[in-house]
Structures are given as C-alpha cells and as structure tokens.
Amino acid sequence: MTTMTETSARFREFKMPDVGEGLTEAEILKWYVQPGDTVTDGQVVCEVETAKAAVELPIPFDGVVHELRFPEGTTVDVGQVIIAVDVVPGGGEAAEPVAPAAAEPEPGAEPEAPKGRQPVLVGYGVAESSTKRRARKGTEPPAAAAAAIQGELNGHATVAADVPAPTVGTVVPESRPLAKPPVRKLAKDLGIDLATVTPTGPGGIITREDVHAAAAPVPAPASVPTAPAAVAEAVAVPVAATPVPGARETRIPVKGVRKAIAQAMVGSAFTAPHVTEFVTVDVTRMMKLVAELKEDKDMAGVRVNPLLIIAKALLVAIKRNPEVNAAWDEADQEIVQKHYVNLGIAAATPRGLIVPNIKDAHDKTLPQLAAALGELVTTAREGKTSPAAMAGGTVTITNVGVFGVDTGTPILNPGESAILAVGAIKLQPWVHKGKVKPRQVTTLALSFDHRLVDGELGSKVLADVAAILEQPKRLITWA
C-alpha cells in the first residue's frame, strides 16, 4: 500500500499512512490546510491521533489542495484517501478525483493472493488482509449516498463506483435519518422520532447524545430541521461529548489513546497472572542526596528529583537480578530474557495515560538518565511523543505519589515483566537508631508477571530497590 495515488496527470491523492507499526486506523484531529491552499513537499497538512500518539502528517508533493475527504474528528482506516491535491493548478478542465471503489470479487472468482508489507510514509506499514468482503447476491440499483452510508452503519454495505465519497462542505442527501442500529433501538425505546432529531455526528449521523437530547425535558425550538447537518458543520462539533442540560448521562466515544489503554489493560490483566508486593521504606537519606545533587555542577542543566534516584535504583536492582527483565512468548512457548533495559515512565497527558520509555537506560550515567527523563516528560506533556518512543519497553515505573496517593496495585504494561509504583513521600514517625523520629517515608509496590517471576525473585528486586533508597551509597557499592 502506498500513501499517494494519481487519478489523472493533474490530481494526486494522499492516503492515510501507517503512522505506527501495524496500526490500522487513525483519527483526524486537525486540518492545517483547506481547499484552495497551496502546499509544498514536506508541508504538514494535518494532525492525526492513533492508538499510541498524536502525529503530524506531511504531504510528499507540491500543489493546491483540491479536496479534503474527511472532516476533523473522523476515524479513518489506513490506506484510505484523505486529501486530493491539484498538482497542475490552472491547467484547464480536468476530471475531478473520485474515491476508489472497494474492490469486490466476482462470483466464482479466485481471491488475490495476500501481499506482503508495503512501504508507507511512516513506519513499516501493515500487511494487506487476504480477507475479501463477500459479494452481495443478485443485482441492485445504484444506491444513493445516504443509503450507502446507512448500509455501512449497519455493517453490510457495498461501495458503488458511481457514488463519490462525501467531501468537506457537502450536504449528503438522505431518504431517512442516518443512525446506527443501537441508536435506532434507543430512539424506539424512548419513543423518539429520528426525523425530529438534529444530528451532530460526522456526515449527519444521529448519535446517542442526539437522541438523549431530544428526550430531555428542555424547551424545544419551534421547528426542528430534519435535513442532516453538512459535513462542514460537523467539523465544528467538538469530538468530546458535551453534557446536555437536563440529561442524566453523557456518553463519550471510546477511541484513540483511551481505546488503546482499555484494550491494553484488559489484555494484560487477563493474560498475565499479576502478583503485587509492597514495602515501606525510610527515604530520608535519598532526599538528602537529591538536595546535594541539585547543587552539583555535573548535574547543571538537568532536572534532579526523587524519580531520578528511584529509576537508577531499579536499574541497579535489575542488574543484580537480571532474570526479572524478561518477556513471555506465548506463540513459541519461550521466556525471552532481555539483556537491555528500556525503562518505561508512565505519564498522564490530556489524551490519557501513555508509557514512553528510555532506550538502553541501563547504559546511561546519572546525568544522562536525568536528561532523558526530562526530555521524556516534556515531550509527553506537549503531546508529541512518537509511537516509536512507546514501543519496546521492558519494565516501567509509575509515580502515583505526585497525586498524594500512598501506593497502588499497578497493572503491567503489555509485554513487560514488572512495574514499580512509587507512593507519596511523607514525613512520618519512624524508629531510627532506637528512637522515634520524623523521617521521610514512602511505600513501593512491585507488580510482576508470575509466569516469569517467582515470588522469591520479585521480592529480591523490590527489597534491593528499597535498600538503595534507604542507603543511596549502595548505588556505588552494588553498581
């Protein structure tokens, strides 16, 4: 699959690329260009969000934007055309580009052999599926655009070659209101006539929120428009669901990063048998070391905080117990021991939880580790973390202490063997040298995959981390 096609010598089309390795879809967050705008090779034309991150897409040729195939907020499959560009502006009349029809096998025809991975703009691309949609029996007249859209909603439509894809700014004619079957059932249960509901979904599709809004006891306008909203109007509708006054519930579509988090956590929780162990430790000496390092000229220009020392402590503990740094290969029934550590740091962002990792963290000096942590956090907060930065992690740290939480039972990042949760560091009464004194104390929790890590090994790793934080000089003696 390529990311661009030529519909004529004049128009070229740019397809949604695989912006992460193996991803199958992405949501268009924002268009940076509009029809009539001039674009140049390498210019960013839109921002898309995959299940892993938000990515800006550059276009690989010059020209004038002729058509945007999808509005903002639309989830588009990899390989679908998203923009058409006039590469010979002012070149006279030419046939407009038409969205390619979905290829359907003729009755009795042999399906094409599946092709391998094809080069795309970003990443390695996805292999084309060998599964073909079965041709519908009999012949049917050319479907109207609305019928085609409703058929897709019902999951059994075919795409006719003479039906162009909806474009930005085009009102799609309809024979009946467009809605998915569950939405139609909801309207029926609530006694709502869909013809009286104002649609806010992309392409004039009625959503659950629209039905609930129609059912809510709020004053209704004198006349309710029955025509579907234009796609251009749908672009202006926020992607996130807006609470309707008087409504008792708000439904938010599960997509993007939130969808990926849900799938990953469910997969991890019900695949890897989790065990979590806890330890409470006096980190007063560690906090003194942090204060001293902040004044050290060798650490100038980098951020020094407790997380830096905790990360280094975990790396030393893994070096002393290398068997914990492994992965379970279900297909080959093998345990894969990693001789490198890609240290993941769980980060809360406006788009949800992401876990970028520091590549080869085990080889980094303390200043290098501090610099990498600072860059990782900054990039995550700006929403610019790349899919590659979140791939290949081996173990993870999640700092729940920043929220004032004592500890938790963290769920493993898929494909990893362990995750360390760090609680809040608080001043507490503690027995020190035979006397009760106020000391800086925190609680650590280590979750691990019990297929890979026995209780003894997990306990040793957690105990080593705690021992280093209690006596930071062990960073020298044990390293």
Q: What is the pLDDT of residues 87-106, one digit of tens each?
A: 888 765 545 554 444 444 44
Are residues 5 and 13 in contact, defined by beta-carbon separation less than 8 angstroms? yes
Do 390 and 358 form a contact (C-beta atoms < 8 A)? no
Residue 179 is predicted with a pLDDT of: 75
Confidence (pTM):
0.56
Within 8 A by CB and 6+ apart from 189, the residues are none
pLDDT at 264: 73
Residues 6+ apart with CB under 8 A from 141: none
Neighbour-count burial for 340-360, b at 16+ CB within 10 Å, e otherwise: ebbbbbbbebebeebbbbbbe
What confidence score (pLDDT) does residue 170 get? 44
How confident is the model at residue 88, as a pLDDT?
Answer: 85
The C-alpha atoms of residue 246 and residue 358 are separated, in whole angstroms, by 47
Determine contact, residues 276/446, Cβ cutoff 8 Å: yes
Output the furthest CA–CA distance in the chain (Å, rounded).
Answer: 92
- Res 182: pLDDT: 67
Is residue 331 within 8 Å of residue 338, measured between CB atoms? no
Give the per-residue pLDDT at 387. Answer: 81
Distance CA 74, CA 389 (A): 25
pLDDT in tens, the chain (479 residues): 445 554 457 889 999 887 665 677 888 989 999 999 999 988 999 988 876 677 889 998 899 999 999 999 888 888 999 999 998 887 655 455 544 444 444 444 444 444 444 444 433 344 444 434 444 444 444 444 444 444 444 444 444 444 444 444 444 444 567 877 667 767 776 778 888 888 888 778 888 778 777 776 544 444 443 333 333 333 333 345 566 788 888 888 887 667 777 777 787 777 788 999 999 999 999 999 999 999 999 999 999 999 999 999 999 999 999 999 999 998 888 999 999 999 999 988 877 788 999 999 999 999 999 999 999 988 888 878 888 888 899 999 999 999 999 999 999 988 899 999 999 999 999 999 999 999 999 999 999 999 999 999 999 999 999 999 999 999 999 97
Neighbouring residues of 398: CB distance < 8 A, sequence distance ≥ 6 = 345, 346, 408, 410, 419, 420, 421, 422
User: Is 212 considered catalytic here?
Assistant: no
What is the bridge-based pairing of β-strands 178-179 and 205-206?
parallel
User: pLDDT at position 453, please?
Assistant: 94
Q: What is the pLDDT of residue 473?
A: 95
Paired with 378 in beta bridges are none
